[in-house]
Structures are given as C-alpha cells and as structure tokens.
Amino acid sequence: MSEDAQRTERIQQAIDIKTKPPGSLGAIEKLALQMAVAQKTDEPVADPARLLLFAGDHGLVEEGVSAWPSEVTAQMVLNFLAGGAAANVFAKSNNIGISVVDAGVMSDLPDHPDLFRANIRKGTRNALKENALTLEEVSAALVFGEELASDEVSVGTKVVALGEMGIGNTSSAALLAHAIEGISLDLLTGPGAGLDGDGVNRKLDILRKTAERRPGKLEPMDALCAFGGLEIACMAGALIGAAQSNAVVLVDGFIATSAALCALRMHPELEGNVVYAHKSKEPGHKAMLEALNASPLLDLELRLGEGSGALLAFPLLRNACAMLNEMATFESAAVSGKQE
C-alpha cells in the first residue's frame, strides 16, 4: 500500500471515531481528509494562506465581448493595491495576505511592495485574428506562476488561493474550455461582468468565429496559445507549483477553473490538491466543474472573480482542519459508541 493510501486509511479512521455519527459532517469530513493527504501530514492546517491575484488584458476586447473597457483592469489593480476591493475586505477578515500579479496588463502600473510583474507582454493579441500568445509566452507565464507559488509555499504558506482580474477573460475562459473539453460555446458563454441579452448574443457570435480559427479539440498549451490569457496561464502555473509543493490550492470561479482545467489536463496527478471554492453564477461554470468531476464547497450566486469566492470558502478549510486535529474521540471524551 502506498504512503498516500496508508494515510488515507489512517485519517479516515481518525475522522470516524470522532464524537459524531460517521459521515455526519459530510463534505467537511471529505475536505479534512483531502487536505491531510494533499499536505502529506496527519495534522493538516489551513493557515497561513495567501491569495495570488493575477491580472491581464485581452486583445479580443476590441471586438466588443465585454461591457467594460480594458482600462478597468489596471484601475482595479490599483484598487487592490489600495485595499479597496471585495477581495481585500474578505482577505482582511480571514487574515490572508494578497499578492497582486501583473500577468499582462496593458497599462503601466506603479511599483508597490505587493505587486509582482511577469514582464511577458502587455495584454494578449486579438484571438479572433491571430493566436493570442506564442508558445514561448505561454511557457514563460506557466513558469512564472509556478515559481511564484513554489516560493510562497517555501516560506510556509499552506493554502494558495487563486483569483484573477481581466476585462474580457470570461471569453478566454469559455474558449479554453470549448477547445480543451469540447463543451459547447452555447453553454459556456454568459454575461461576464454585466452584458445584457443582446450583448451575450453578440459575444457568442464573436466567440464562435474565434473558435473557428482553431477548430477541433486542442491540447492545453495549444489552447492557451490560441485564446490566452496571460493571467489564466500564470494561474495554471501557480496551481502546478503549489500542488507539486504539497500545498492545497483553493480555486475561485469560472476563470480560475479554466486555469485549473488547463493545469490538470497537463498534470492530472495533482487533482487531489485542488479544492473548488464555489459554483459561479456564470452559466458555463457548471459545465466546466462537471468536466473536472468537481464538487464546489459553496453556491452563493457569485460572479465577481478576484478570488472573492475562494476567500469566502476559506473558513471551511480552517474548520475542517480543526475538526480533525481538535475534536474529541468517543474514547477520549468517554462517550458511548453506537449500539450494535
């Protein structure tokens, strides 16, 4: 029996003898077991945790796929750095630090101690007309994300949460899931950051034309080249780097899940390290989660991004660990077991 299999059996037995009917804490029991095996310890912990928030722009926005202009990406990065966004508020209440990453923002950003720069290119190319990224650019983004997350784990971080900001990135995420999994664009295309019905129809038409430029199923690297974006490729790299370092990776919503799809199709052995925070209100997220056989922790009708759903789900990880590490057993509490 492998070390992981032995640990799984041992931790499950430890959970089952807690002072409760077996299985009565449902998904929390499964989460505790998953975290123990992922961290390769009998006493998993959720703290310290850190949100890696990747920002990037998309050339496809030129075609009208978003209700917002590209400059909002940089403006929101400044908001993150100033502490004014939902992600900042939720991170502060959970005692989680944030690293903001300029994965490929078109505008120039001032230096800041919490800002990291990938320095690959300023935004992707227009994927309707040409590949969004070159193979070298995708590779650089993956390596950057992997090294950033690995460095974070090396200083003691136990949970790496993934979030993003990028006007137009629901289009990129939809195109990636369509290309890699063959999911219909009709299912994957939604309002993003606020398109009305006509806007969604226009977006779907543009995405169909964009997908026709690279028809058929694509491998993750080819899909990232074809459709971007830099923040998604960096997130995929971060998942790989954190998971390979035995950290738990807490994935946010629709766009972050597209990054997880890319990463896990390249490295399926890392699946056990990934926790999906929530099911987004963006309609395509359900189809993407089903393709990954994923069971998200929450369903709060969120559609913000920024890692907001991951931060809201984080206390469940903290409490799952507390249940395993601190809850009494029937024997230690002198509580009678179930009658045969």
Domains in the chain with CATH codes: 49-323 (3.40.50.10210)
If we measure between CA atoms, which residue out of 251, 42, 82 comes closest to residue 164? Answer: 251
Indicate the pTM of the whole model. Answer: 0.96
What does the DSSP 8-state code read for residue 189?
-
Q: What percent of the chain has pLDDT over 70?
A: 99
pLDDT value of residue 288: 98
Q: Rounded to an integer, what is the distance from CA 283 to the centroid of its chain? A: 17
Nearest 5°: the CA angle 229, 122, 59 is 55
Q: Tokens in use for 135?
A: 């193979």
218-271 residue pLDDT tens: 999 999 999 999 999 999 999 999 999 999 999 999 999 999 999 999 999 999
Q: What are phi and psi of 86, to 5 degrees?
A: -55, -40
pLDDT value of residue 223: 98
- Alpha carbon dihedral 187, 192, 196, 202, in 10-degree steps, equals -60
pLDDT band at 333, cuts 50/70/90?
Answer: confident
Distance in angstroms (rounded) separating the CA atoms of residues 327 and 144: 40
78-106 residue pLDDT tens: 999 999 999 999 999 999 999 999 999 99
pLDDT value of residue 202: 96
201-218 residue pLDDT tens: 999 999 999 999 999 999
Active-site residue among 306, 326, 331, 340? Answer: 306
Longest dimension (CA), the chain: 70
Q: What residues have CB less than 8 Å from 23, skipping those under 6 apart?
A: 29
pLDDT value of residue 214: 96
Residue 62 a catalytic site member: no
